[in-house]
Structure 1
Amino acid sequence: MKSMQSFMVALIMVALISCNNEPAADTTSAAPAFSLDSAKAAIAASNDAFMAAFTKGDSTGVAACYATDGKIMPAGMPAIEGQAGISGFVAASVHMGLKDFKLSTSNVWGGEELVGEEGTYTLTAADGTAVDNGKYIVLWKKENGAWKMFRDVWTSNVPPAPVK
């Protein structure tokens, strides 16, 4: 009789354990959790690469900081899309005498799909003259595991020249 009771207790235990309907956690395919601090660090590193490439006159290096479908939206002209178009715009800017581009990030926010960045910029000519300064907003997205600029818009703080 004692063995029958032990058997019944074991059978009930197995039944109770097998009633757990929750799926087992799959830890092998879980994507890493989004970290805004990691995104901020990646954006800061990309901005450093952007500024260094611009200072060297490396338009291809600047364009590599953008997503393949990235778009810049400068004031006073149509938007320019794609790395080739962005590279051409930067090359023309360097050819016009722009030499140094400084970015200063003031805020970064967002989630794993898109991250926004806002800040200020200063553009300097080859002779050291400050040419422009203003503010910008960039939307970043992940492309091949790296944060890339997706949309980039900026506006100058310098008033437009008077119309003659």
Structure 2
Amino acid sequence: MKQKFLVTAALCLRLFLGHSSCLAQTSNTAVVLQIRKVIEKNNALYFNLFAKSDAAIVDMYTDDASLLAPNMPPITGEKALKKDFEDTFSAGKVKGVRFKTSNIYGDGREYVTEEGNWQVFDKGGKLLDDGKYLKLWKLTKTGWKIFRDSFNSDRKNP
């Protein structure tokens, strides 16, 4: 009788713990979905700031962020990012960068990783290049900011 009770108690505990982890997973999914909405909104803001050649785009990155572009050393820190964006804006070739999020990974406590595709447009709206990216977002006192930004093209070099 005692053994039957212990088996029943163990099964109940297992069901309860399994149910609790399901609730935690459901809750985590809701958190990640909320973060995804914030990131998608930030990506739209990024496109608009880029289109205006607005230096405020750097504020979307953490102070110690790194832009990990292909075929060049990392661009790290606020000063380096400002210079990179100033150089890009003054060149005048690119009018916009659009991001399309495909997945968000993580628990949303401190970091999440965004995976997606990007497109770069000229001033006339013509597609210049496209590819894929991973961005590591960090939760800061002022909200979610880009901590690491890595991308590459889907096109072969001419």
- TM more than 0.5: yes
Q: Which amino acid aligns with 1:103?
A: F
In structure 2, the partner of 1:119 is 116
**Contiguous gaps of at least 5 residues in structure 2:** 1-26
Structure 1 length normalisation: TM-score?
A: 0.73
Q: Distance in 2 between matches of 1:94 and 1:132?
A: 17
Whether 1:84 and 2:84 are equivalent positions in the alignment is no
Quote how far apart the aligned CAs of 1:135 are. Answer: 0.4
Hey, which bits of structure 1, 4+ residues long, moved more than 4 A?
none
Give the conservation status (yes or no) of the 8 Å contact 2:50–2:95.
yes
In structure 1, the partner of 2:147 is 150
Q: Distance in 1 between matches of 2:144 and 2:115?
A: 15
Whether 1:132 and 2:129 are equivalent positions in the alignment is yes
Structure 2 length normalisation: TM-score?
A: 0.76
Quote how far apart the aligned CAs of 1:84 are. Answer: 2.3
SS at match of 1:52: helix
In structure 1, the partner of 2:66 is 71
Give the conservation status (yes or no) of the 8 Å contact 1:50–1:61.
no
Quote how far apart the aligned CAs of 1:145 are. Answer: 4.2
Quote how far apart the aligned CAs of 1:94 are. Answer: 2.1
Q: Which has the larger radius of gyration?
A: 1
Whether 1:141 and 2:138 are equivalent positions in the alignment is yes
Q: Which whole-Å deviations, capped at 9, do the CAs of 1:119-154 have from their partners, x for residues lacking one?
A: 011101113332110000000111114011000000
In structure 1, the partner of 2:157 is 160
Q: Which amino acid aligns with 1:142?
A: L
Q: Distance in 1 between matches of 2:87 and 2:155?
A: 21
In structure 2, the partner of 1:23 is none
Whether 1:61 and 2:30 are equivalent positions in the alignment is no
Give the conservation status (yes or no) of the 8 Å contact 1:63–1:84.
no
Supply the RMSD in Å over aligned alpha carbons.
1.5
Give the conservation status (yes or no) of the 8 Å contact 2:44–2:98.
no
SS at match of 2:155: coil
Q: Distance in 2 between matches of 1:123 and 1:69?
A: 25
Structure 1 residues 74, 125: closer, same or farther in 2, change over 3 A? same
Q: Distance in 2 between matches of 1:107 and 1:63?
A: 24
